[in-house]
Amino acid sequence: MKKLYYEMLRIRLVEEKLTDWCNAGLIKAPVHLSIGQEAVAVGVMAALKPQDKIVSTHRCHGHYLAKGGDLKKMMAEILGKATGCCKGKGGTMHLFDDGVGHVISAPLVSASISFAVGLALSFKMKGEDKIAVAFFGDGAVEEGIFWESLNFASVHHLPVLFVCENNLYATHSHILQRQPSENIAERVRPHGVNICRINDANNVLRVVEVATSMVDLVRKNQPCFIEACTYRLREHWGAGEDWHLGYRSREEGEKWIAKCPFKQLQKVFDEEGIPRSEIEKMEKFIKKEIDEAVEFALKSPLPSRKELLSEVGG
Amino acid sequence: MARDDRKPITYKDAATEALLQAMEKDEKVFLMGEGVDNITGVYGQVLPAYKKFGPSRVIDTPLSENGLTGFAIGAALDGMRPVLIHQRNDFMLLAMDQMMNQAANLRYASGGHHKVPLTILSFVARRPGEGIQHSHSLQSVFAHFPGIKVGMPASAVDAKGMLLSAIFDDDPVIILEHRHNPLFEKKEFVPEGYYETPFTSNIVVSGQDITIVTVSITLVNALEANTGLNVKGIFPEIIDLRWLRPLDIYPIIQSVKKTGKLLVVDTGWKSCSISSEIVALISEKAFSFLESPPRRITLPDAPCPASQFLEPFYHPTTEAVIQVVEEMI
């Protein structure tokens, strides 16, 4: 349980640091922060084994960190430095750390879902005990390739877990402007995969519970779909809040702020008698790690001009 | 059992042999596509592989071109060597996101960490009546994108060798066979064993009067024209491009420096095409050697008509090659 808090806090504090960087004008890229949504990444990852593989989207920082991705390489990548996980050529929307099983991130909505299906196909063909997990948002289910992926995984009984982070908005459009209902899982059900909708996926313990039972099924080659309802607290991209834009109300946001993943878990800590000083210790430890990563990233060399044309292939 | 390679085999069967040999050589190779296991087995090319390796390595799929490409990329990211088969290259337009935004870019965007050893095998399926969505020749569209290789075999030897090169290359490669005759059923002597075709253009006929660059089946037209032209004392140099990307322009430059004349014959449209690219490159690199303006024989800038009475006027012909060469000489 402390590990869950630690992992969520690590994501939050890293993204707070990115907020500082944005405000200081250091980042020349659209960062998509997952502040508010940390419990989904951490809860699902807690149910996985190290050899399991994940793919993610433009909002990938949380998944990268929760899967164990290297913080220094992440920070360097976001600054466009040569030491970044993609040598500066992928950027904030393509973070990956293959060594820990985060295979790739891709911002073209829904595209990476199909990679997870392909990974799962490969695991099954090789007879390996691994599963693939695709993280994506509610907008992704409006793309045809999501349904193509679901269909293929179902027909071929592939070890793949689909995790839809339903935060109600695709950029600035509410889900009911785009889909017939807020409930995505019910529309997935007829595809012959196991489904579960987590109404409050800011409750990390609930996410762990659902993910663990779903992962068990996935390991038996029964693909599963989790709809994890959560809420993005920052802009679609950028470091600020965006209540002033008027596409969503502060009242709606307050309801989700009340379900803060940290507050929910702190309550459990209190019940279990875990002292708050434990959290302070974690915070201190993580801040030290972040300081080191910041120093690494800032001091890292710029990519050389020849990188422009290297590894093009074709 | 080894085939007797003293007997010629068709372009179609040479490609069939490549698929079989690739799967025998490496168990990471697998085939997938719509209807690959059915009674026609993609013009017969996939059935032998299906009979030998069964449905676990020759996977019949739903009609999901974009999704399938993504599944193949995912498997390739895990070290497999998938061969994705579309029965017509027109269908590949449904998969442009996965081919070009994803497969072609992932090596670059991962700083060189990821390899995407994906082969996409498809066909220019030109036949009378196939019309606007079943017979186009879209190589120039695909070759526009850095990060993906594009080849069009024009002989049985290359139908096998280029496909093997593609499957064992670490980048995504598109191979477009041409189903029209007299190419698809044309017999040639083809080595029985494993071999790969290099990523180079191929000087098929040496000559000194004019350089004819051909793409895909237009090699057949040029070779037919060559016979007639030789009788008239005209000796073209004929270069089969083989690969649009990587584009091996050097032999073409050298040839134009010798002949001073360039004709490009392509199965695709004229505008923004591989024929445009070759003419542009020769203008940049060998302009002072050109004795006359380069010419092109391509499709007219119109969709392919289905009518059997219109379609024969649509494609490049042997007669057109002879006529343009005579005009240029």
Where are chain A's structural domains? Answer: 2-299
Instruction: Check if A149 contacts B (Cβ < 8 Å).
Output: yes
Minimal Cα–Cα distance from A63 to chain B, Å?
17
**Of B146, B161, B188, which closes a domain?**
B188
- Name residue, tokens 């419990």: A39
Q: What is the structure's pLDDT at B42?
A: 83
Range name among A137-146, A162-171, B36-45, B170-179 with the lowest pLDDT average: B36-45
Instruction: Check if A221 contacts B (Cβ < 8 Å).
Output: no
Confidence check: pLDDT of B113 > 90: yes
Q: What CATH number is attached to the domain comprising B84? A: 3.40.50.970
Nearest to A119 among B78, B147, B246 (CB): B78
At B2-60, the pLDDT tens digits run 788 889 999 999 999 999 999 999 999 999 999 888 777 788 889 899 999 999 999 99
Determine, for residues A94 and B110 on separate chains, whether the beta-carbon distance falls below 8 Å. Answer: yes
Q: What is the structure's pLDDT at B35?
A: 87
Q: Peptide bond preceding B246: is omega within 30 degrees of 0, i.e. cis? A: yes
Q: Is residue B196 part of a domain?
A: no
Determine, for residues A145 and B70 on separate chains, whether the beta-carbon distance falls below 8 Å. Answer: yes
B138 in the same domain as B92? yes
Q: Return phi, psi of residue A83, to 5°.
A: -90, 5
Q: Is residue B269 part of a domain?
A: yes
Determine, for residues A312 and B147 on separate chains, whether the beta-carbon distance falls below 8 Å. Answer: yes
Which is catalytic among the residues B17, B34, B86, B134? B134
- Cα separation of A290 and A12, whole Å? 11
Can you spell out the DSSP letters for B120-189? EEEEE---TT-GGGTS---HHHHHTSTT-EEE---SHHHHHHHHHHHHTSSS-EEEEEE--TTTTT-EE-
Instruction: Check if A151 contacts B (Cβ < 8 Å).
Output: yes
Nearest to B97 among A87, A111, A155 (CB): A111
B213 in the same domain as B180? no
Interface test with A, best of B96, B110, B169 (most A CBs within 10 A): B110
- Cα separation of A97 and A236, whole Å? 24
At A43-61, the pLDDT tens digits run 999 999 999 999 999 999 9
- Cα separation of A49 and B62, whole Å? 31
The set of residues, in sequence order, having a beta carbon less than 8 Å from that of A111 and lying 6+ positions away, is A145, B70, B97, B98, B101, B102
B227 in the same domain as B184? no
Minimal Cα–Cα distance from B67 to chain A, Å?
5
B114 in the same domain as B216? no
Tell me the helices (H) and strands (E) count for chain B, helix number first.
11, 14
Range name among A85-99, A164-178, B33-47, B201-215 with the lowest pLDDT average: B33-47
Determine, for residues B67 and A122 on separate chains, whether the beta-carbon distance falls below 8 Å. Answer: no
Q: What CATH number is attached to the domain comprising B238? A: 3.40.50.920
Which is catalytic among the residues B65, B130, B177, B237? B65
B217 in the same domain as B182? no
At A73-129, the pLDDT tens digits run 999 999 999 999 999 999 999 999 999 999 999 999 899 999 999 999 999 999 999
B66 in the same domain as B137? yes
Q: What is the structure's pLDDT at B62?
A: 94
Domain containing B290 equals 202-328
- B114 in catalytic set: no
Q: Is residue B251 part of a domain?
A: yes
Strand, coil or helix: A97 = strand
Judge whether A13 and A71 are in contact, CB under 8 Å: no
Hey, which residues does B211 pair with through a beta bridge? B237, B262
Q: Which of A112, A131, A147 is nearest to B62 (CA)?
A: A147
The ipTM of this complex is: 0.95
Interface test with B, best of A104, A123, A149, A150 (most B CBs within 10 A): A104
Q: What is the structure's pLDDT at B1?
A: 52
3-state helix, strand, coil in chain A (%, to 5): 50, 10, 35
Confidence check: pLDDT of B130 > 90: no
The set of residues, in sequence order, having a beta carbon less than 8 Å from that of A115 and lying 6+ positions away, is A55, A103, A104, A106, A134, B70, B71, B73, B74, B77, B102
Q: Is residue B169 part of a domain?
A: yes
Query: Strand A160-166's sheet: what is its strand order?
Result: A102-105, A53-56, A132-137, A160-166, A224-229, A194-198
Determine, for residues B78 and A122 on separate chains, whether the beta-carbon distance falls below 8 Å. Answer: yes
Set of chain A residues whose Cβ sits within 8 Å of the Cβ of B62: 148, 151-152, 155
Minimal Cα–Cα distance from B80 to chain A, Å?
7
B298 in the same domain as B244? yes
Q: What is the structure's pLDDT at B4?
A: 83
- Give the whole-number percent of chain B exceeding pLDDT 70: 99
- Cα separation of B143 and B151, whole Å? 9
Judge whether A204 and A43 are in contact, CB under 8 Å: yes
Instruction: Check if A120 contacts B (Cβ < 8 Å).
Output: yes
Determine, for residues B110 and A117 on separate chains, whether the beta-carbon distance falls below 8 Å. Answer: no
Minimal Cα–Cα distance from A103 to chain B, Å?
8
B129 in the same domain as B206? no
Confidence check: pLDDT of B155 > 90: yes
Set of chain B residues whose Cβ sits within 8 Å of the Cβ of A94: 109-110
Set of chain B residues whose Cβ sits within 8 Å of the Cβ of A310: 112
Confidence check: pLDDT of A133 > 60: yes
- B327 in catalytic set: no
Q: Which of A307, A183, A173 is nearest to A246 (CA)?
A: A173
Instruction: Check if A192 contacts B (Cβ < 8 Å).
Output: no
Set of chain A residues whose Cβ sits within 8 Å of the Cβ of B98: 111, 114, 145
Determine, for residues A312 and B111 on separate chains, whether the beta-carbon distance falls below 8 Å. Answer: no
Q: Which of A174, A160, A69 is nearest to A122 (CA)?
A: A160
Judge whether A146 and A63 are in contact, CB under 8 Å: no
- Residue range B75-90: mean pLDDT, rounded: 97
Q: Confidence class of residue B288 from pLDDT cuts 50, 70 and 90?
A: very high
Q: Between residues 30 and 89 of chain A, which touch chain B (CB distance below 8 Å)?
A: 53, 55, 84-89
Q: Confidence class of residue A42 from pLDDT cuts 50, 70 and 90?
A: very high
Helix (H) or strand (E) holding B10: strand B9-10
- Cα separation of A65 and A62, whole Å? 5
Determine, for residues A117 and B67 on separate chains, whether the beta-carbon distance falls below 8 Å. Answer: yes
Q: What is the structure's pLDDT at B17?
A: 95
- Residue range B136-141: mean pLDDT, rounded: 96
**Of B161, B188, B215, which closes a domain?**
B188
Q: Confidence class of residue B140 from pLDDT cuts 50, 70 and 90?
A: very high
Interface A-B, measured as beta-carbon pairs within 8 A, has a size of: 148
Domain count, chain B: 2
Minimal Cα–Cα distance from A148 to chain B, Å?
6
B150 in the same domain as B59? yes
Set of chain A residues whose Cβ sits within 8 Å of the Cβ of B57: 125
- Residue range B132-154: mean pLDDT, rounded: 96
Determine, for residues B62 and A148 on separate chains, whether the beta-carbon distance falls below 8 Å. Answer: yes
Average pLDDT, rounded, for chain A:
95
**Of B137, B153, B188, which closes a domain?**
B188
Smallest CA–CA distance from A128 into chain B, residue: B78
Smallest CA–CA distance from B110 into chain A, residue: A86
Q: Is residue B3 part of a domain?
A: no
- Cα separation of B102 and A181, whole Å? 31
Hey, which residues does A196 pair with through a beta bridge? A226
- Superfamily of domain A2-299 in CATH is Thiamin diphosphate (ThDP)-binding fold, Pyr/PP domains (3.40.50.970)
Q: Confidence class of residue A304 from pLDDT cuts 50, 70 and 90?
A: very high
B213 in the same domain as B310? yes
Interface test with B, best of A96, A145, A156 (most B CBs within 10 A): A145
- Cα separation of B1 and B125, whole Å? 31
Top mean-pLDDT range of A144-148, A244-248, A309-313: A144-148
Q: Is residue B2 part of a domain?
A: no
- Cα separation of B260 and B194, whole Å? 38
B147 in the same domain as B108? yes
Q: What is the structure's pLDDT at B38?
A: 78
B90 in the same domain as B113? yes
